[in-house]
Chain A
Amino acid sequence: MGLRNALLVARRQVGSVREDRYVVFLLGLVIALGVVAVLGARHHAASEAEQRARYQAMVERQWLEQPDRHPHRVIHYGFLVFREEAPLAFFDPGVGAWAGTSLFLEGHRQNTANFGDARHATGMLRFGRLTPASVLALLLPLFVVAAGFASVSAERERGTLRLLLAQGATPAQILAGKVLGTGAVAALAALPIGVATLVIAGSGAVGPVSAGRMAGLAGIYAAYLAGWVLVTVLASSFRASSRSALAQLIAVWVVLCVAVPRLGASVAGAVHPLPSRAEFTARVERALNEVGDSHNPDDPFFRSLRDEYLARYEVVSIEELPVNWGGVVSREGEAVTSRIHEEQQRDLVEGQRRQDRILSLAGLLSPYLATRDLSMAVSGTGPEAVEAFRAQAEAHRYDLIQRLNDLHISEIHYENDRAQRLPREHWAEFPTFGTRPPPLGGALAGRALALAALALWILIPLLGLGVARARLARVGVERAAS
């Protein structure tokens, strides 16, 4: 009986939305924007991925086609890697456009990734790009508001609310019905984007997408939109007029989706300022100068290393060592400089993470922020994916350089060092590079706050509806009576 009443109210709500030409038009618009966004993003991602794969293959071929070379020459020749976008980047590109896409790996130093998309576009990009994720997170809530702001208040204004109550529907059933009806319309609007995303991801055209990630995205956006449905019905039941419910809901949207994200980012930047690039570079240089210069054989650090080697092999001069001393200096120097670079880099990333944490606190105020954060994490396009690429590329670089140094130590004689060459067959022995996106579990584990924010986003309006149930019949009546 209770469920039947709720379903009747839900059907009534869907019906009234269907009769509203304005809302039907908006529904068409949202669906069209969503489909355009999915197809556009898919096209963009495919062409980028294709180019990246082509040029990565080219760089690998160039590596293999190197002539016979001295290993230290190869260290300076270096290697170029490109950041692969996660398969779901077409759905939510995350910070992809704002981070570097290519990284040059060479000896003695860590370069930073260059060529972010945004640097090559115009300032217009600041307005954001229409992506499937932004349609779901920014525009669909407005559609939900348009479809539901009048759900309860219009019944009250027309006087049909009393009729419903008189016919035996309880306030709880009416509210549940309104939520279900508005939710059904919202689901209808979200469905095409979901289906299109699922089809593209399922076709394997963008790379393997795990069912877990798809389910995660579905869950996040379902919860987020459900929260909007609840808030919309709540505002509609609390406000005496549809007009003031609409004004209030739009104000809520502006605050949550436009103002708080920027405010959060600016507070994060103010609370945990990052060094400038010049300062960062200077810090690295200072730290490097403290330990010594691997290119300077008279450096104290390397002098003690030499004495240690001479003692270990019981010889008196480096010429007599069974290993190539030049290679040893290069390897130990690389170990020291890499450690320093890595330490400084870790500090920097730690600073960025502290900023991100402030943003996730802001996520408690804005479910839009929390949703965006979770969506990026599940899609594998968040800041941690960029950092994972950097860390993996650095590990690859270090491995590459030290293998070359080992070849230098074992295969090249100290005497007449520079004139010797290693046969080119060696170049095929090196592993290739591939980006591995951070695992889903790890990405979500660090986002307990965002998950909690999303849970609150549903719980608080639910509690509100509990209060609204008790006053449903009274709102607007008191004012009319007084």
Chain B
Amino acid sequence: MTARIVIRNEWRLLMADRPLRLALGLFALLLVYALANGVVWTRFQESTVEVAQAGNVERALAIEQELTDIENGAEPASPFSDPRLPNVLGGRRGRHTAVLTPGPLTALAVGQSDLLPYYYDVNIYTNESSFHQSGEVESPLNLMVGRFDLAFVVVYLLPLLVLALSFNVLSEEREQGTLALTLSQPVSARGVVAAKLAFRALLVVGMVLAVSLAGILVAGDFGAPGRILLWCAAVVAYALFWFVLAAWVNSLRRSSAWNATVLVGAWLVLVVVLPAAINIAAGLLHPLPSRVQMVTAQREASNEAVNQRSELLARYLEDHPEMAEGVVADEPGLGALAWAATDAVNRRLEEVTAEHDVRRAEQIALVRRYRFLSPALLTQEVLIDAAGTGDARFAAFQSQVRVFAERWREFFVPAILASEQMNAGVLSDVPQFRLADEASADVVRRAGVPLAVLTGLLGLAGAGAGVGLGRVRGAD
């Protein structure tokens, strides 16, 4: 009953305040613009993925056509790209593009998807260094600035709106002298603040969630309810965190101006300064292993390998007896020799990269602990993970491509070693990449930790606010 009166009056007050009305309208506009931006990006990725998949089909058809023609007596178009050669069919000409379809909620959070590659060309020469090719040909300046997506609006701008709506939720009543009047009614300060903030929270969170759901509707993907729930939970928890923080600061019984300064200071520290400081501290305390070193080691590996081909072939056949069958023991073909060298380079690359990756994973694990210091970092992580544009999904994609490249080699290399020719009959057996996308449950489990910490921070601020408001009396 009281809550209803408070909420009705709050609505009238809000609508009477022109700057606030403006801020709310601007926020709604920015939300819609951010969503549109994200949708454009998703469409771009989708069309790229489609082109890549069409390319796979097209290449396969052209090769099938040429193989059939050759079987019917035609000459190959060029001796260098004769599709009967396994190193051509499995090489650049017959390559298969493995693609990662955009995450289910990419339109809401671009995340790392403009930085990390979402498609790789796989052929028999694919090795660790292929994974280090650049992502999109994006301007580095734009990458640095980042995208204007919903996640950005939520993480950076939403707190400011929340603070603008609630920095004086109690102090104003005191300054206008209405606090004593309000509290002379049978209500507690806690109840009044809760009702006022609940109304504002409903308004703000409702706007964000409505636009988010509209985005999911536009993208037409309700297939990941776990992710949608996770997204909503993170938005709600983060918004509530700022509301509760405002309530807590209000409970300290200082002036509205003091509240505003402290709250904006908190925003600055938690959203701008702390993440930037964490990034620099992480770089100093836990520097990532040198990439330059890895590149040089990769190069050294190739040098060694090429210098000792025939030796390598013997070693390769020892290691892979299953491949030896086709090789004529005393006169290995050129293809076999070349392959042995290629394989040796790949193995060495894998060693070098594995070592580098282990060290990098350790360092990143250390660096990631610091994110618990800032609710903005936590929220960002949950949001992009829910959207399917976080680091983890891309890492999973890359490791699946790695496995796929291995299968690809296993399919073509025996034929190369045996100097066999391929025909149209094998085309249907050529490996195809099938993405095993992470299950919603896995994402929820992974994002559960930061979300739990965020909720914990929310609880802490809530307890502080509860205790503080309990002490507020009308006579203050």
- Where the two chains meet, the residues of A that have a C-beta atom closer than 8 Å to any C-beta of B are 22, 33, 36-37, 40-41, 43-44, 47, 51-52, 55, 58-59, 62, 77, 80, 82, 95, 97-102, 112-116, 118-131, 134, 138-139, 142, 242-243, 246-247, 250, 254, 258-259, 261-266, 268-270, 273-280, 282, 293, 295-296, 298, 348, 352, 355-356, 359, 382-383, 386
B139 lies within 8 A of A355 (CB): yes
Inter-chain contact B280/A37, CB cutoff 8 Å:
yes
Q: How far is the CA of A386 from the CA of B279 in the complex (A)?
A: 23
- Contact among A58, A112, A243, A268 with B257 in the assembled complex (CB-CB below 8 Å): A243
B142 partner, pick from A58, A118, A263, A355, beta carbons under 8 A: A355
CB distance B299 to A59 under 8 Å?
yes
Are A270 and B134 in touch, CB under 8 angstroms?
no
Does any Cβ of A come within 8 Å of B381's Cβ? yes
Q: How far is the CA of A115 from the CA of B356 in the complex (A)?
A: 13
A123 adjacent to B111 (CB under 8 Å): yes
| Known A36-B280, A273-B44: A266·B134 in contact at CB below 8 Å | no
B411 contacts chain A at the CB level, 8 A cutoff: no
- How far in angstroms is the closest Cβ of chain A from B257? 4
Q: What does the 1/0 interface line of B239-261 toward A look like (CB < 8 Å)? A: 00000000000000000110011
A139 contacts which of B273, B292, B303 (Cβ < 8 Å)?
B273
> How long is the Cα–Cα vector from A251 to B176 in the complex, in angstroms?
25
Contacts of B44 in A (CB 8 A): 273, 276
Flag if A293 contacts B145 (CB, 8 Å): no
The answer to whether residues A243 and B256 also contact, given A115-B132, A129-B279, A280-B137 and a CB cut-off of 8 A, is: yes
Q: Is the CB of B290 within 8 A of A278?
A: no
Question: Closest approach, in angstroms, between the C-beta of A438 and any C-beta of chain B?
Answer: 15
Residue B324 lies at the interface, judged by CB distance under 8 Å to chain A: no
Interface pairs (18), CB distance under 8 Å? A36-B280, A40-B284, A51-B292, A62-B303, A95-B140, A98-B143, A99-B140, A112-B137, A116-B134, A121-B288, A121-B364, A126-B146, A138-B272, A270-B40, A274-B137, A277-B135, A355-B142, A383-B140
B273/A268 in contact, CB under 8 A: no
A82, A114, A298, A355 pick with most chain B CB within 10 angstroms = A114
The answer to whether the Cβ of B296 comes within 8 Å of any Cβ in the partner chain is yes
Give complex CA distance A365, B244 in Å: 34
Contact B292 A52 (CB under 8 A): yes
Give Cα distance in the complex from A52 to B381, angstroms.
32
Q: Provide the residues of chain A in CB contact with B276, threshold 8 Å.
A: 127-130, 134
Encoded as 1 (CB less than 8 Å from any A CB) or 0, chain B from 107 to 122 comes to: 0000110011101000
A127 and B288 form a contact (CB under 8 A): no
> CA A266 – CA B276 in complex, angstroms?
22
Query: A123 vs B299: C-alpha distance in the bound complex, in angstroms?
Result: 29
- Establish whether residues B116 and A274, one from each chain, have CB atoms under 8 Å apart when the complex forms: no
Knowing A55-B293, A126-B146 are in contact, say whether A278-B367 is a contact too (CB < 8 A). no
Cβ-based interface call for B219 (8 A): no
Interface centre among A98, A118, A126 (most CB of B within 10 A): A126
Task: Enumerate chain B residues within 8 angstroms of A348, measured Cβ to Cβ.
Answer: 137
B152 CB–A CB distance under 8 Å: yes
Report if B295 contacts A (CB, 8 A).
Answer: yes
Given contacts A130-B277, A266-B147, A274-B137, contact A123 B293 (CB under 8 A): no
Bound Cα distance A282, B30 (Å): 36
8 Å CB contact of B138 from A22, A80, A131, A274: A274
Known A55-B292, A246-B260, A295-B80; contact A95-B284, beta-carbon cutoff 8 A: no
Q: Smallest Cβ distance from B401 to chain A, in angstroms?
A: 15
B213 CB within 8 Å of chain A: no
Distance, CA A469 to CA B469, complexed state (A): 45
Query: Is the beta-carbon distance between B279 and A128 smaller than 8 angstroms?
Result: yes
Which residues of B (289-335) have their CB < 8 Å from a CB of A? 290-293, 295-296, 299-300, 303
Q: For residue A62, which residue of chain B has the nearest CB?
A: B303
Min CB–CB distance B440 → chain A (angstroms): 20
Which residues of the partner chain B approach A33 to less than 8 Å between Cβ atoms? 273, 277
User: Is B376 an interface residue, CB under 8 A from the partner?
Assistant: yes
B428: chain A residues at CB < 8 Å are none
Instruction: Report A-chain residues with C-beta under 8 Å of the C-beta of B33.
Output: 263
| Minimum CB–CB distance for B446 against chain A, Å | 13
The distance from the CB of B260 to the nearest CB of chain A, in whole angstroms, is 7
Among A44, A97, A276, point to the contact of B48 (Cβ < 8 A): A276
**In the bound complex, do residue B292 and residue A119 qualify as a contact, i.e. CB atoms below 8 Å apart?**
no
| Chain B count of residues within 8 A CB distance of the other chain | 80
A40-B280, A246-B260, A262-B152 as given contacts; A296 in contact with B78, CB under 8 Å: yes
B74 sits at the interface (CB 8 A): no
The complex places the Cα of A99 from the Cα of B384 at a distance, in Å, of 23
Check: B51 CB closer than 8 A to any chain A CB: yes
Contact: A112 with B133, CB < 8 Å?
yes
Q: Please give, as numbers and ranges, the residues of chain B lying within 8 Å of A258 by CB-CB distance.
A: 156-157, 272
* In contact, B146 and A352 (Cβ under 8 angstroms): no
- A37 and B278 CA atoms in complex are apart in Å by 11
**Which of B40, B80, B143, B260 has a CB less than 8 Å from the CB of A247?**
B260
Given contacts A124-B279, A124-B377, contact A278 B140 (CB under 8 A): no
B338 at the interface (CB under 8 A from A): no
Contacting residues, chain A, for B260 (C-beta < 8 A): 243, 246-247
Q: Is the CB of B292 within 8 A of A124?
A: no
Closest to B119 in A: A278
Q: Which of A120, A130, A131, A134 is the one whose CB lies under 8 Å from B288?
A: A120
Is there a chain A Cβ closer than 8 Å to B97's Cβ? yes
Within 8 Å CB of B133, what residues of A? 112, 114
Q: A127-B276, A128-B275 are in contact. Are A262 and B148 (CB under 8 A)?
A: yes
B384 / chain A contacts, CB cutoff of 8 Å:
123
CB distance from A27 to the nearest CB of B (A): 14
User: Chain B contacts of A273 at CB under 8 A?
Assistant: 44
Given A123-B112, A124-B279, A296-B80, CB of A98 within 8 Å of CB of B295? no
- Best-buried of A41, A102, A356, A359 by chain B (most CB within 10 Å): A102
A122 & B292 in contact (Cβ 8 Å cutoff): no
- The verdict on A269 contacting B142 (CB below 8 Å), with A129-B276, A130-B276, A276-B137 known, is yes
Contacts of A77 in B (CB 8 A): 303
Instruction: Determine the distance from Cα of A398 to Cα of B32 in the docked complex, in whole angstroms.
Output: 49
Q: B287 within 8 Å of A by Cβ? A: yes
Known contacts A274-B137, A295-B80; is-contact A59 B296 (Cβ 8 Å): yes
* Distance from B354 Cβ to chain A, minimum over Cβ atoms (Å): 15
Decide yes or no: A22 and B261 within 8 Å by CB, A123-B384, A142-B268 being known contacts. yes
- Say which residue of B40, B137, B380 sits within 8 Å of A126 (CB atoms): B380
Are B80 and A293 touching (Cβ within 8 A)?
Answer: yes
Among A82, A142, A243, A295, the residue within 8 A (CB) of B292 is A82
Chain B 207-236 interface residues, beta-carbon cutoff 8 Å to A: none
